[in-house]
Structure 1
Amino acid sequence: MTEFISTSSSLSESSTPPLRRIAIAGASGRMGRMLVEAVREAQDCRLAGALDMAGSNAIGADAAAFLGFTSGVPIVADLRTGLQDAQVLIDFTRPEGTLAHLAVCRELGVQAVIGTTGFSDAQKAEIAEIAKDIAIMVSPNMSVGVNVTFKLLEMAAKALSTGYDIEIIEAHHRHKVDAPSGTALKMGEVIAEALGRDLKECAVYGREGITGERDPSTIGFAAIRGGDIVGDHTVLFAGTGERIEITHKSASRVTYAQGALRAVRFLAGQKAGLFDMFDVLGLR
């Protein structure tokens, strides 16, 4: 089979879902390949572009070659070439690269699903400005389970607002370049907002030496890096005589890819605006 989209002859034309033409940034990376495979398996999606950095050994190769298939979509470094046939870009790369991609998406009217983490406040503001012209969904974690966990944390924080110390512990593979993870920071933001606090003012990132007693108004973070851990996150609410732990563990990046495709489908009904996975999943 050499097609990305297969349809059954038993389906009427009216029952076949409309195709979403998708470009993928970082197409030769671990997450990029997972996305290519997910798009290939989705009946309502088609790979329309594949991007990678200039100088990558993957440039010129077929984006699905690693699967033993021919998609007819080569991996390219030129943004306009990679996006010219796409309706939406999925991007799990680096902040600077993502912003460069979004600038071209804005020019071409291409929507974007962004899973990149590590944006500065200024970069987040730049994304919000671009979203005035195109629809953008940004989430530090596109796992459906993780986003349900965010909702659970919001509920727990409100119920455990006094008498409980809050610590966020995350673990990822040795190749991850930012810490704490974007998911851990989002967890902190959700909890802080539920408590009426500003995470910038109450976050504590690691401890060493004589630190003094713990300030009960703080939210602590600890980051672990090693091996091939896909992503583990635990939020600890530690009270007197009891503790509550809310944990999510990822065993495969496939959950991120499937969440990204749900976001692609959600954006099909949007002309412009900045959205997150709570919008996609109806968790507002």
Structure 2
Amino acid sequence: MAKFAVIGHKGRMGQALATAIEEAGHEFCVGIDLGGDPAPVIGQCDVVVDFSSPDALVGNVKAARSKGVPILIGTTGLEEAHFSAIDEAARDIPILQTGNTSLGITLLSALVKQAAERLGDDWDIEVLEMHHRMKVDAPSGTAKLLGEAAAEGRGVALDDKMDSGRHGQTGARTPGDIGFATLRGGTVAGDHSVIFAGNEERLTLAHSAENRMIFARGAVRAGGWLIGKPPARYTMHDVLDL
């Protein structure tokens, strides 16, 4: 049985995590929310799970590092400064940062990479995602994760090939670009599709999240796996040994 600290535990994901922790037979050690300093309390826990906000991330990582506690980061909308802080802290503690903790999405990203590796450059790649009306970042962290998998499969940098701003007279599609389309509405937990469009044929790899509990259960499994690992930066692929 592991002791889990949850940052952002009063939010929807935090509540789902509390349920998933109990389902898995672990202990909900402590919950921390906006304005609370995690450092004084997380030292009594085995692992920290953070689904709070980008603004709080650097402080949360520093707190986990100061106490020598592993941390799983599921917060999306991160920028370069966040990744730098994660890289720095991973010298001293194990950190798993991901845009999606679903085990299905993890496997999907591996399939996307494989398809991008094996299909020719004449196959266009488009990432389509839909989330609930309250989601504030776009494209989603999961869409970017899938785009990164496609880019890695092609041996290119996503930043150089990402096209997510089509509007008006855009001209023909740029060969080799990885396109993104974002939909928002209703209460959709998360739908993602990666479309490989070739000449006269099309391959679609897709995943539908029916409830955010899938992310909570994946996070709990990954958090338990992270305990006892040496300091480094890990991904969900490491959890599934992909």
TM-score greater than 0.5 by the shorter chain: yes
Shift of 1:122: 2.5
Does residue 50 of the first structure (1) align with residue 50 of the second (2)? no
Aligned residues: percent identity? 40
1:127 aligned to which of 86, 89, 94: 86
Does residue 41 of the first structure (1) align with residue 43 of the second (2)? no
Matched-pair contact (CA < 8 Å) for 1:172–1:224: yes
Query: After superposition, what is the alpha-carbon deviation per residue over 1:197-234, rounded to whole angstroms, capped at 9, x for unaligned?
Result: 11111111131111111112111001111111100001
Partner Cα distance (1:281, 1:41) in 2: 20
Q: TM-score scaled by structure 2? A: 0.96
Shift of 1:34: 0.2
Matched-pair contact (CA < 8 Å) for 1:161–1:195: no
Q: Give matches, 1:263-282, under 5 Å.
A: 263-282=222-241
RCO higher in 1 or 2 (8 Å CA, sep ≥ 6)? 2
Partner Cα distance (1:241, 1:42) in 2: 47
How many residues are matched?
A: 242
Q: Note closer, same or farther for the CA distance 1:274–1:53 as it changes in structure 2 (3 Å cut).
A: same
Consecutive unaligned residues of structure 1, counting only runs of 5 or more, are: 1-18, 55-76
1:185 maps to what in 2?
A: 144
Partner Cα distance (2:156, 2:238) in 1: 23
Aligned to 2:203, the other structure's residue is in SS state strand
1:83 maps to what in 2?
A: 42
Q: TM-score scaled by structure 1? A: 0.83
CA RMSD, Structure 1 to Structure 2 (Å)? 1.2
Aligned to 2:106, the other structure's residue is in SS state helix
Point out the structure with max Rg over C-alpha. Answer: 1
Does residue 221 of the first structure (1) align with residue 180 of the second (2)? yes
